[in-house]
């Protein structure tokens, strides 16, 4: 099927769908200029693997090393420079058309929310926050960027009169809001529930290599009533799960189909 016929079919399915589940991956963010962290240069000259450096155990054992590497990989200082692209705004338009849209995103940049989407499951967490594992206080990206080794500044007691004195603050080293290796993804149950209830399951910019969230493609395949579309620049190992496979740019295709 040529691209024009694919677009016609896709456009028809979008028009007919009432409940749409979108699984978005790194390809969605790269169209906003955000590099896939797996391709980040520099820190990978070290002997450790990506999985080791971005693991919960590495953070807990070597926090002084972890935080600079984390900031470098995810370019935290640059996050405010990135803006949603045509694809993000197309998904918001679906909501404006009255459709129930659930976005399950592997991305951690928060651009779906910036574009105005209201029902987003960030299964790999978010760059926009860090949290204290001791008291659960949360901190924004500005706080993270302003501290080489971010620590919790909340008072240990209800009395704040001496909270600025050493020992009166929590001072626990923060954990990033991003899900690390050895940690569990978030919203898996909710994502599965939404997928099985969908009319249209749409994958945007994901290679479908990262589990367990890539299992949504196989779950959708098991429900014949769901129309299944993948839009990715390159072929994936799960393309066979989809009724329609489009290898093209996300923003351009969604702009024509919605």
- Annotated binding-site residue? 152: yes
124 is an active site residue: yes
**Catalytic site residue from 88, 112, 124, 175:** 124
Question: Cα(176)–Cα(174) distance, rounded to whole angstroms?
Answer: 7
- Annotated binding-site residue? 132: yes
User: Using an 8 Å Cβ cutoff, are 175 and 112 in contact?
Assistant: no
- Annotated binding-site residue? 135: yes
CA torsion through residues 32, 230, 220, 88, sign: positive
- Annotated binding-site residue? 241: no
Burial 24-42 (b: 16+ CB within 10 A, else e): bbbbbbbbbebeebeeeee
Neighbours of 194 (CB within 10 A): 23
Output the six-digit token pair for 109: 């940049």
Measured in whole angstroms, how far is the alpha carbon of residue 243 from the centre of its chain?
24
Binding residues for Zn(2+): 132, 135, 152, 170
Q: Which residues are catalytic?
A: 124
Binding residues: 132, 135, 152, 170
């Amino acid at each position: 099927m040529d691209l024009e016929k694919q677009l016609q079919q896709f456009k028809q399915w979008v028009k007919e769908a009432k409940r749409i589940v979108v699984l978005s991956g790194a390809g969605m963010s790269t169209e906003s200029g955000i590099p896939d962290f797996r391709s980040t240069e520099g820190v990978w000259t070290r002997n450790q693997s990506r999985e080791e450096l971005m693991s919960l155990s590495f953070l807990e054992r070597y926090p002084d090393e972890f935080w600079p590497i984390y900031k470098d990989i995810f370019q935290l200082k640059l996050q405010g420079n990135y803006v949603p692209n045509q694809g993000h705004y197309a998904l918001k338009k679906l909501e404006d058309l009255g459709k129930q849209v659930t976005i399950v995103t592997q991305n951690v940049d928060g651009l779906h929310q910036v574009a105005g989407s209201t029902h987003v499951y960030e299964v790999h967490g978010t760059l926009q926050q860090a949290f204290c594992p001791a008291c659960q206080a949360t901190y924004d990206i500005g706080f993270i960027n302003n501290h080489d080794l971010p620590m919790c500044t909340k008072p240990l007691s209800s009395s704040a009169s001496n909270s600025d004195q050493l020992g009166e603050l929590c001072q626990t080293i923060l954990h990033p809001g991003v899900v690390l290796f050895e940690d569990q993804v978030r919203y898996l149950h909710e994502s599965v529930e939404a997928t099985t209830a969908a009319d249209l399951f749409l994958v945007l910019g994901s290679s479908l290599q990262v589990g367990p969230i890539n299992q949504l493609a196989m779950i959708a395949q098991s429900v014949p009533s769901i129309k299944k579309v993948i839009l990715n620049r390159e072929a994936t190992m799960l393309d066979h799960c989809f009724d329609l496979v489009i290898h093209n740019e996300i923003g351009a295709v969604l702009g024509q189909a919605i």
